[in-house]
Amino acid sequence: MDTAVARITCAKPLLGFGFLLVAAFANAQALEDCLACHDDVEYSSTAHPDVECNECHTNIVDKRHKRGVEPLTDEESCGECHGRTVRTIGRSVHDGQAGCIDCHGDPHAIRKVEEANCRVSAVNQIDQCGGCHDDPPELVDGYLTSVHGRGLLRSGLDAAPSCASCHGSHKILAVDDENAPTSHQNAPEMCGSCHGRLLDEWQTMSAHGMSWAQGRDDVPVCTDCHSSHAIIDPIMAEARLESADTCGDCHAEYLTTFRATFHGQSGSLGLAVSATCSDCHTSHANLPADDPNSSVHVDNVVETCAQCHEGVTPAIASFNPHSDPTDPDDNFKVYVVWLFMTSLLIGVFIFFGVHDSLWLQRSIVALLKGELKEERSKQGPYIKRFNAMYISMHVVIVTTFLLLALTGLPLKFHYTPWAQTLMGWLGGIEFARVLHRLAAIGTFGYMAFHIGNIFIRWAFLKERGLMWGSSSMVPQWRDVKDFVTNIRYFLYLGERPAGDRWTYWEKFDYLAVFWGVMIIGLSGLMLWFPLFFTQFLPGWTLNAAHVIHSDEALLATGFIFVFHFFHTHLRPESFPMDIVVFTGKMPLHKLKAERPLEYQRLVDNNELDDLIVEPPTRAEALTAYIWGTIFLTVGVALAIGIIWALLSH
């Protein structure tokens, strides 16, 4: 008995192997029988290597097909073996929309999922799924450019997420289905399946995450900040530059104040290294400022700022990266600075706006009546008005001023298309910063030279009349009387005042440069070297410096490009351009008409003949007109841009 049992036991493996051989032979024979008629079918499936034809085509009665048959559906055919999967699809968003063959392809060539050439392998899913889900295009295009798509398709990282990693393979639910892994409530856990440490930090150290854990559905989750398909590497410049707007979708009031500061303005113009929301508030451990664990808590803000600014002092704690100068409750001292600068800006613009409007209409009338015929004549001798030093200085002033305006105004009006375009023409904000600072150094240089020149002339050369008298740029009582007389002339109530070497509006222009260089220069230095100045000044002074620098720059550029250009070049008496400042030569008849007091004094002192010079040569005049046209065109274009920006904001 034992011997018989032993024989049977030993025979079992042999019998099993025999059955396998018979089955394989039968399957091969069945495949050959089918292919004898269906020679157009190429059976190359690696997923079903041992499946007979009739296991899928279960409605075939015999190999001769004597009875007519209807094609089976995917569910009927595939469901014979994959019943659970078919039932899962029936509960998915694909029910009735897509079947097995739609995704897996030709049933005779279905590959194993882990094979690279499988239609639903990780590397092919974007093409397969994108065949149907191509609207909106951002779904496919976004993934292809995302950090996930590049990792999987370009870098060959097989662990990088594909479509099925987030949406599932068969139990795919609508995104807004509460049971979908991509739903608002489930998205953090879906992302956390790969980014576990970030999920833990977000859940335990973020106001967003802790609110989400409490079941709130009005707080941002991973896909709200990083998007769902176009996920960009957070350290990339593109991601950094977009992050402020992303946060601003929920925190609009903070985005507004952020964009009004240097960090926000420079970031808006493409400075990727500029601080953005996540740099200060962190990406996943963002807590309210009054939380002791917050990176922006008063006890931690110095350490936070030190990540970018080495050598930060505790004084920086009073600096407000979301300063609102218009709000007295935010910082009253900064508010007072803003109120003063705004009042100065509006006051100057109103004063000269009225003054020059009256002047313009009076000059047009004078032109129509022929009163300006002599002044506009180009005949007669010329008189030397400026020497080479003053001509060179004015060229330096114009050049540095335009460079400062070209590189600074786009920062103030960063939200306008022209500012973005201009910054691109300048080579980007980083190069524009270099140009701005070089122009600032040039400004300090010509101011120091001019003050030094005046001091030498007064102290060593004993030249008098620099501080008072007809040749002085210091305002005097006569300037007040000339102003009143001029207003009467504008209103047709009297004659035009007899001008001297310098008029009251020219003195205003001159002294405005001193004021501007002092105010813009000092505030600019504070913004250029914030760590130095906060060694002995509180941090809020940087907020005040930003207000001063910004508003005074607007005052200076607006005044020069509108009022100074009118006074000097664009009024009917001088239109289209007065080139005296570039040639140093002025028509004698114009001097007699506009500055009769100076003319008479030169005659009385027998100095006139010594100043008579040849008219500008053709080359001198052409050069002056070319450069003058460039300067005027740039200035007027910027003036139009300023007005557009102010009206559209």
Region of residue 310 (left: phi > 0; alpha: psi -120 to 50; beta: else): beta
Domains of the chain: 122-233 (no CATH), 248-316 (no CATH), 332-461+509-648 (1.20.950.20)
pLDDT of residue 4: 45
- Residue 137: how many other CB atoms lie within 10 Å: 9
| From 20-29, 379-388, 493-502, the region with the lowest mean pLDDT | 20-29
For residue 489, count CB atoms less than 10 angstroms from its CB and return exposed for 0-12, middle for 13-18, buried for 19 or more: middle
Confidence of residue 9 (pLDDT cuts 50, 70, 90): very low
| Bond into 136 cis (ω within 30) | yes
Q: How far apart are CA 632 and CA 239, in angstroms?
A: 39
pLDDT, tens digit, 9 for 90 and up, residues 343-370: 999 999 999 999 999 999 999 998 888 7
Distances in Å between the Cα of 73 and the Cα atoms of 56, 58, 188, 370 are 10, 11, 38, 97
Q: What angle do CA 638, 643, 646 make, to 5 degrees?
A: 120
pLDDT average, residue stretch 567-581: 88
Average pLDDT over residues 445-458: 92
Q: Summarize pLDDT for 511-559 with one digit per residue, the tens.
A: 988 888 999 999 999 999 999 999 999 999 999 999 999 999 999 999 9
Q: Which pTM does this prediction carry?
A: 0.81
DSSP state, 72?
Answer: P
- The pLDDT of residue 11 is 47
pLDDT of residue 273 exceeding 50, the answer is yes
Distance separating alpha carbons of residues 2 and 626, to the nearest angstrom: 119
Report d(CA 423, CA 391) in Å as an integer.
30
d(CA 41, CA 32): 11
